[in-house]
Amino acid sequence: MNVELLYFNGCPSWEAGLKNLQEALRAGQINAEIQLILIESDDEARTEKFLGSPSFRINGQDLWPEERESYHLGCRVYATENGLRGAPTVSMLRSKINGFKPGMEKL
């Protein structure tokens, strides 16, 4: 399983997102290395189809996909049980990860 966290420097939430992702993987007893992908420009954001920082992908599929016409450096927010936050909760990540089946093309 290829697990990626995409972020940009200056994002106030990516480290909390990383911590929650690590905890979600540990809780699910999933031994996967997290690849950190630093997005440094709007050009890179377009190339990676970056949806904002932090973003989470498994095998190239965003865990919270959305269609866009343009991509740029920016923060991402998640609707949590405590309102909008800059990173998903551990339980949100566990739910998405648990719903992922190897070999699936889409989540």
Express each pLDDT in 20-34 by its tens digit: 999 999 998 998 999
CA 28 – CA 43 distance, rounded (Å)? 35
- Helix, strand, coil shares of the chain, percent, nearest 5, are 30, 20, 50
The share of the chain scoring above pLDDT 90, in percent, equals 84
Q: What is the pTM of this model?
A: 0.89
pLDDT (tens digit per residue) in 75-95: 999 999 999 999 999 999 999
* CA pair distance 75, 73, nearest whole angstrom: 7
Q: Compute the distance between CA of residue 97 and CA of residue 11 in angstroms, rounded to an integer.
A: 23
Q: Mapping DSSP to helix (H, G, I), strand (E, B) and coil, where does residue 83 land?
A: strand
Domains of the chain: 3-98 (3.40.30)
AA letter at 75: C
Longest dimension (CA), the chain: 37
- Rounded to whole angstroms, how far apart are CA atoms 53 and 1? 21
Distance in angstroms (rounded) separating the CA atoms of residues 78 and 27 = 21
